[in-house]
């Protein structure tokens, strides 16, 4: 994977996480997303009547939920989202497919796992820049490993995760 593709993929994942955090908050507030609920939403629907009429109820819900989320975003976030979208559109078709595959994978995750990832991302954002850079460098190094070595690293990590704190401490002392 090229350096550009790597950073575009990371940026896309971060955008997806940011968007999903907003969507999660909207769902938590219990907003009804089935029908336009204010003048701005009705204007959106009126602006595209042919397209709206072709949407399924689920697609309409998704459009309105996204529109509501967009309306609630601060101007700076909207600007970043537009930039990310433009970067996405500038990607080669195969890179776009990789990003979309990542989004589909995200959507398949159980909500508990998505929440864990959101929390990890929030923690990551709070780290000092040099620590974030170290994490990115380590991730790049991991990604550059041959598949068999990556699998060994993952297997060792999973074994480490299953150890008790005492077992981990004993191994550190060796």
pLDDT at 37: 81
Q: pTM above the 0.75 mark?
A: no
Amino acid 75: pLDDT: 93
Contacts of 30 (CB under 8 A, 6+ apart): none
- Show the DSSP H helices in the chain as ranges: 3-28, 39-47, 49-54, 57-72, 75-90, 93-108, 111-126, 129-144, 147-162, 165-173
Q: Give pLDDT tens digits for 94-103.
A: 999 999 999 9
- Specify the pLDDT at position 23: 47
Tokens of 96: 């776009």
Q: Taking all residues of the chain, what is their mean pLDDT, rounded to a whole number?
A: 84
| Helix H or strand E segment including 31 | none
- pLDDT at residue number 26: 47
Say which residue the tokens 């697609």 belong to: 59
Domain boundaries of the chain, sorted by first residue: 3-126
- The whole-number mean pLDDT for each consecutive block of 10 residues of the chain, a chain of 174 residues, reads 53 55 50 72 89 89 90 92 91 93 93 94 94 94 94 93 94 89
CA geometry: angle 88, 60, 17, nearest 5 deg: 40
Q: Token pair of 107, please?
A: 């959507």
Reported as a single tens digit per residue, the pLDDT across 60-92 is 899 999 899 999 999 999 999 999 999 999 999
Do residues 71 and 31 lie in contact, with contact meaning Cβ atoms separated by under 8 Å? no
Give the Å distances, CA to CA, from 96 to 16, 60, 100, 139, 152. 14, 24, 6, 21, 29
């Amino acid at each position: 994977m090229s350096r550009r593709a790597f950073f575009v993929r990371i940026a896309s994942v971060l955008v997806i996480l940011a968007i999903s955090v907003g969507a999660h908050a909207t769902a938590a507030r219990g907003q009804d997303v089935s029908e336009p609920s204010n003048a701005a939403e009705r204007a959106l629907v009126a602006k595209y009547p042919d397209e709206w009429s072709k949407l399924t109820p689920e697609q309409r819900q998704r459009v309105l939920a996204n529109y509501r989320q967009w309306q609630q975003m601060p101007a700076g976030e909207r600007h970043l989202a537009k930039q990310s979208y433009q970067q996405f559109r500038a990607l080669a078709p195969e890179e776009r497919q990789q990003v979309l595959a990542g989004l589909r994978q995200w959507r398949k995750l159980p909500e508990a796992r998505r929440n864990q990832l959101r929390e990890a991302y929030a923690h990551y954002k709070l780290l000092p820049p040099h620590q974030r850079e170290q994490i990115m460098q380590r991730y790049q190094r991991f990604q550059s490993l041959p598949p068999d070595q990556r699998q060994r690293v993952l297997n060792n990590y999973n074994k480490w995760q299953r150890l008790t704190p005492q077992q981990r401490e004993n191994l550190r002392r060796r």
